[in-house]
Structure 1
Amino acid sequence: MGDAVPAGLGVGIGWRPAISGFVASLPGLRFTEAIAESVRPARPDPALLALRDRGAAVVPHGIRLSLGGAEPVSAGRVAHLAACAEALGSPLVSEHVAFVRAGGVEAGHLLPVPRTRAALDVLTANVRRTLDGLPVPLAVEPIAALFDWPDAEYDEAAFLTELAERTGVLLLLDVANVYANARNRGADPLDLIDRLPLERVAYCHVAGGERAGGRYHDTHAAPVPPEVLDLVAELCARRRPPGALLERDDRYPPAAELRDELDAVAAASGHPRVT
């Protein structure tokens, strides 16, 4: 059982104030994503409301809920996600399989959850609490992690599959994260994709990164590399997610380059172009 996967999202791009005019200019756009913590549900940005009113799905994307933290998720933060979804008419909301605080201390980063039975129990409880407070489905995103905790009792695919089975939660599969983790671990990214419950994937992220300090960093501030687009094509050959969203958070290129990237995502995923 579990929440139904949304249909027909297509190709999207993350809404950011710096590129809001570009996002609004895309004639075929049916899907965008806004950082939930930046949304004021009582007075959403008029540009987001305009996208909603023209029929584009606006997905609130949380970064501060700390689903993997030892403490129960904050009821206030869950209520904010719910209010964002209601204000924007969202078909779902999304968050991360990560923690961002411990003992009241804010890390300022998305940190990986230990893949242990105890950590999975905590994550399961927090996902269930969140689902109970939301009016729409929840999709959770595995992060790009620069380290893994020792003494893992699950590999990543088994950990995520059991989480989905326990809670019915959907998955947000960040293909760029899959690529980054596999590259940094010296693994084959298809090994993960082939073992995930792809029928639970609500949409996927696509982004670029850069190599620094001997590691590949998922920066969202560089062009999408061909290897990530190839991985999108491999994913969609197995089971195409309803949506594929381009993330760009910094060092924004000219509009023509963003349009080219969106066209490349459309070509790799098989979704219609939005440009």
Structure 2
Amino acid sequence: MTVGALPEPLTQLRQRGVTVVPHGIRLSLSGAEDVDQHRVAHLARCAEVLDAPLVSEHIAFVRAGGTEAGHLLPVPRTRDALDVLVDNVLLAQAQLPVPLALEPIAALFEWPEDEMDEATFLTELLDRTGAWLLLDVANVYANATNRAAASGALLARLPLERIAYVHVAGGAERGGLYHDTHTDAVPPEVLDLLSELSALHHPPAVLLERDGHYPPEAQLRAELDAVAHAAACHRSPARCPFDEPGGARRAPGRAGRRPGDRW
């Protein structure tokens, strides 16, 4: 799979020693169809070109019956769906040169067929695949808000030691639902949730997602400062599993390259 020349901003980031992590949105790991090997190969090649310590993808499906949804759709939390998801994750991992972190999405609905709660589903998925967790606290907040549930209750039941890194993003309420927009400021409730997470398990890294409607530089810097304060970045973060001496570049129990002192 061919990857073209890196965009200049990415080249500059790499020259400055900034870690760049490819973040997939099209593998459709939760789909009933087999994972598209061309898409996995492209993600793998991106990781190699960027010298990334890991890649990430969403726990979602984006196509069915050959039709592309154009959106991340939630997986039914059933035993059968979990088995399919595990198989697809293992297929993807076999082709990736680095570990895979999985991100639970912000879902606007749940399936009536659900057999497990989210914490149980995620824990078994990570146990069976050896994948890492990309925890988006904005997604946790969105799901809890839309389901009238307590967001902190989920954090207390997740395998936080499996966190590779954390996402934070802004959102807005429309039509009675909270939408994870990535174009609005991070609300105080999400920052509070980040603080709650950091008190339980200080994450190795926190990334602010912003996909558009960029504010003036001073405002963006203030938002980054607020995120850093909420994450207690003055403390020493948890050691990233990919920086441990001899730490696995792939999932535990799988052969793979060893990491450098990055991240």
Q: TM-score scaled to structure 2, two decimals?
A: 0.87
Matched, 1:103 2:51: no
Secondary structure in structure 1 of the residue aligned to 2:207: strand
1:153-191 Cα deviation digits (max 9, x unpaired): 110000000000000000100000000100010000011
Query: What is the aligned partner in structure 1 of residue 183 from structure 2?
Result: 221
Higher relative contact order (CA 8 A, sep 6+): 1
Query: What is the aligned partner in structure 1 of residue 33 from structure 2?
Result: 71
> How far 1:49 sits from its partner (Å)?
1.8
Query: What is the aligned partner in structure 2 of residue 241 from structure 1?
Result: 203
1:209-245 Cα deviation digits (max 9, x unpaired): 1111111111111100011000000000000111111
Alpha-carbon separation, structure 2, partners of 1:89 and 1:142: 25
1:248-273 Cα deviation digits (max 9, x unpaired): 11211111111111111111112259
The answer as to whether partners of 1:209 and 1:216 remain within 8 angstroms in 2 is: yes
Query: What is the aligned partner in structure 1 of residue 258 from structure 2?
Result: none
Alpha-carbon separation, structure 1, partners of 2:192 and 2:53: 28
Alpha-carbon separation, structure 2, partners of 1:238 and 1:58: 26
Alpha-carbon separation, structure 2, partners of 1:261 and 1:117: 40
Query: What is the aligned partner in structure 2 of residue 190 from structure 1?
Result: 152
Query: What is the aligned partner in structure 1 of residue 86 from structure 2?
Result: 124
Q: TM-score scaled to structure 1, two decimals?
A: 0.83
Alpha-carbon separation, structure 1, partners of 2:70 and 2:4: 26
The answer as to whether partners of 1:205 and 1:247 remain within 8 angstroms in 2 is: yes
Query: What is the aligned partner in structure 2 of residue 205 from structure 1?
Result: 167
1:6-63 Cα deviation digits (max 9, x unpaired): xxxxxxxxxxxxxxxxxxxxxxxxxxxxxxxxxx733111221221122111000001
Question: Alignment RMSD, CA only?
Answer: 1.2
Alignment of 1:92-171 (within 5 A): 92-171=54-133
Alpha-carbon separation, structure 2, partners of 1:199 and 1:243: 13
Alpha-carbon separation, structure 2, partners of 1:41 and 1:256: 35
Match for 1:232 among 175, 194, 197? 194
Consecutive unaligned residues in structure 1, runs of 5 or more: 1-39
Query: What is the aligned partner in structure 2 of residue 19 from structure 1?
Result: none
Query: What is the aligned partner in structure 1 of residue 229 from structure 2?
Result: 267
Alpha-carbon separation, structure 1, partners of 2:12 and 2:187: 32
Secondary structure in structure 1 of the residue aligned to 2:20: strand
Alpha-carbon separation, structure 1, partners of 2:104 and 2:178: 16
Query: What amino acid does structure 2 have at the position aligned with 1:227?
Result: E
Query: What amino acid does structure 1 have at the position aligned with 2:49?
Result: A
Percent identity between matched residues is: 67
1:105-133 Cα deviation digits (max 9, x unpaired): 01010000000000000100010011111
Match for 1:87 among 40, 49, 64? 49
Consecutive unaligned residues in structure 2, runs of 5 or more: 236-263
